[in-house]
Amino acid sequence: MVTAAAPMHLVMFGRPGSGKSSLAEHLGAEFGYQLIRTGEMLREAVRRGDFLGARVENHLARGDLVPDELIFELLEINLKSPQKARLLFDGFPRTLGQVELLDRFEKKLGFAIDCFVDVVVTREDSVARMTGRRVCPTCGATYHLLAKPPRLPETCDIDGSHLEKRKDDTMEVVSFRQKIYEEQTQPVINHYLAVSPEICRSVDGGQSVDAVYAETCRVLGVRR
Ligand code: ADP
C-alpha cells in the first residue's frame, strides 16, 4: 500500500552494518519503492564478471570506495528508465563528488529527492553486526547469525546454497570501512543537513529491527 504522505524519492544513509539495507528492503516491499543499491549492483557486476565488475572487484574486497566515475557509469546503465515511480537510494551518494552526480541524475531524469534518512548506530554496534553477517552467493539474500539466522545452519532459506561471509566483512576490512564512512560519507550527511535541513531525518538504528522500522515510518510520516 502506498500512502499519499510517503516521500516520493528517498536517500538512506547509515554506517556499514547499520541495518539500512534491510530497512530499505522492508520499505520497498511495503510502499513500492524501487531500490537503487549501488553495493548490490557492484557485487552483481563482480559475480557476472563483466568489464565493470573486473574494475571494481579489488575496491570491494579492500572495503575501499569505488571511484566516482565508475559509480556514474553504473548508475547511467541502471537508472536509464526507472521501473517504479518511487526511488529509494541505498548506498549513494557516498562522497561529496557523488552529491554532484545525484544532482545531475535528478535534472536529467526529472526527479527530486524529498527525504534524506540517516540510520544512526555507534561504530561498536555496527562492527559487531557486520561480523555476524552471512550472504547467499547465489541470490544475494542476507542473514545474521544472531539477528536473522537462516532456518538451517549456514544454508540459504530461498535456494539452499551454502552461506558465505562477504569478503569485505573480515575484521580488518570492517574497521577500514568504518573509517571510510566517517571520512567520506559523514560529510555528505553534514552537507544535506546544512543545505536542506527541512527534509533530513534521523532514526535510532540501535533499537530492535521492528522498532527501527516503526520509527522510520513515523519520521517519514507514513501510515501502515
Ligand atoms: P555497506 O553499506 O555495508 O558498506 P554496500 O553494499 O552498500 O554495503 O557497499 C559495499 C561496497 O560497495 C562498499 O564498501 C564500496 O566498496 C562499494 N560501494 C557501494 N556503493 C558505493 C558508492 N556509492 N560509491 C563508492 N563505492 C560504493
Q: In terms of residues, how long is the chain?
A: 224
Site of grid cell 554496534: 125
Look at residues 165, 137, 133 and name the one whose alpha carbon lies nearest to residue 147: 133
Dihedral class, residue 63 (left if φ above 0, else alpha if ψ from -120 to 50, else beta):
left
> Higher-confidence residue: 98 or 84?
98
Each residue's pLDDT tens digit, 93-132? 999 999 999 999 999 999 999 999 999 999 999 988 888 8
Asked if 134 is an active-site residue, the reply is no
Asked if 20 is an active-site residue, the reply is yes
| Ligand 1 pocket mutation, candidates 23, 25, 38, criterion most atoms within 8 A of CB | 38
Answering whether pTM is above 0.85, one says yes
Interior/surface letters 25-41, b for 16+ CB within 10 angstroms, e for the rest: bbbbebbebebbbbbeb
Site of grid cell 561480523: 131
Look at residues 26, 8, 16, 77 and name the one whose alpha carbon lies nearest to residue 215: 26
| Catalytic residue from among 37, 134, 177, 201 | 177
CA of 3 to the centre of ligand 1 (A): 30
The confidence score (pLDDT) of residue 5 equals 67
Each residue's pLDDT tens digit, 152-194? 999 999 999 999 988 888 888 889 999 999 999 999 999 999 9
Who contacts 73 (Cβ-Cβ below 8 Å, separation ≥6)?
52
| Domains along the chain with CATH numbers | 10-219 (3.40.50.300)
CA of 65 to the centre of ligand 1 (A): 6
Indicate the helix (H) or strand (E) that contains 120: strand 115-120
Asked if 15 is an active-site residue, the reply is no
Q: Is 66 in the pocket of ligand 1 (CB under 6 A)?
A: yes
Each residue's pLDDT tens digit, 25-63? 999 999 999 999 999 999 999 989 999 999 999 999 999
Q: Whose CA is nearest to atom 5 of ligand 1?
A: 39
Query: Could you identify the atom of ligand 1 that is nearest to the CA of residue 59?
Result: 16
